[in-house]
A and B are shown apart, each in its own frame.
Chain A
Amino acid sequence: EAGVAQSPRYKIIEKRQSVAFWCNPISGHATLYWYQQILGQGPKLLIQFQNNGVVDDSQLPKDRFSAERLKGVDSTLKIQPAKLEDSAVYLCASSLPGLARGITDTQYFGPGTRLTVL
């Protein structure tokens, strides 16, 4: 079974530039998550999708970050304009909602995109 795919793996940009990350979840997984992992910290949830709809985006800095999940499959996360503090690994994860359709579903993570903002 193919895992969660992310691209690019690495990205270096200047501050105030824009950047986009792409995620392809495991086939059949309705729930998709974007996390930000700053060096030395645990992943922090930015946004969660259930199919096409947003379940939670309370931690997403909406003035500069945006995300979409077209057709309930692939997703893109965009940052515009980037700041120095956005340097982090951006992880995408997906899960197959169980009977409880809740956070006890196992999340499968992709390898992440390492973003460096100079």
Chain B
Amino acid sequence: QQQVKQSPQSLIVQKGGISIINCAYENTAFDYFPWYQQFPGKGPALLIAIRPDVSEKKEGRFTISFNKSAKQFSLHIMDSQPGDSATYFCAAPDTGRRALTFGSGTRLQVQP
């Protein structure tokens, strides 16, 4: 079964700074790596996803970088805002079944 290791567990960033969250996976049947954002009391919501025929995908202030040889991918949040304060989960396709395995989450706090 897929293992996804996410770091750091928590992150404090000043407003306007860059937030970086990293994930590593073991194996995957194919390449699809989403990031989900979860606010307290809410379910996770898809933030951005990459299907790596490319090594990077950017949507507004959010960028996914993918390193296939290292089996790692990361989320960069540029110009971090207090409204970005949430828990972020990476995910990777499981091997052998049609399911996503989620990382353990990173709690991001952006200080004003």
CB pair A103 B32 closer than 8 Å: yes
Do A110 and B43 contact each other (CB < 8 Å), given the known contacts A44-B102, A55-B98?
A: yes
B46 within 8 A of A: yes
Is A42 in contact with B51, judged by CB distance below 8 angstroms? no
Residue from B43, B91, B104 within 8 A of A40 (CB atoms)? B104
For B105, list chain A residues within 8 Å (CB): 40-42
Interface size class of A (residues with CB under 8 A): 20 to 34
In the complex, A41 Cα to B41 Cα: how many Å?
A: 15
Interface readout for B87-112 with A: 1 if CB under 8 Å, 0 if not?
00101011001111011110000000
CB distance from A39 to the nearest CB of B (A): 10
A109 beta carbon closer than 8 Å to chain B: yes
Are B42 and A102 in contact (CB-based, < 8 A)?
no
Task: Specify which of B42, B51, B93, B97 is in contact with A56 (CB 8 Å cutoff).
Answer: B97
Contact check, A112 vs B43: say whether CB atoms are below 8 A apart. Answer: yes
> In angstroms, how far is the closest chain B Cβ from the Cβ of A34?
12
A48 at the interface (CB under 8 A from B): yes
Contact A103 B43 (CB under 8 A): no
Chain A nearest CB from B104 CB (Å) reads 5
Check A48 against B43 for contact (C-beta < 8 Å).
Answer: no
Among B41, B44, B103, point to the contact of A109 (Cβ < 8 A).
B44
Expressed in whole angstroms, the Cα–Cα distance for A23 and B99 within the complex equals 19
| Chain A to chain B contacts (Cβ below 8 Å), 25 pairs | A4-B43, A40-B104, A40-B105, A42-B102, A42-B103, A42-B105, A43-B102, A44-B102, A45-B100, A56-B97, A93-B43, A103-B32, A103-B93, A103-B98, A104-B32, A104-B49, A104-B51, A106-B46, A108-B46, A109-B43, A109-B45, A110-B43, A111-B41, A111-B42, A112-B43
Q: Footprint of B on A, CB under 8 Å?
A: 4, 40-45, 48, 55-56, 58, 91, 93, 102-104, 106-112
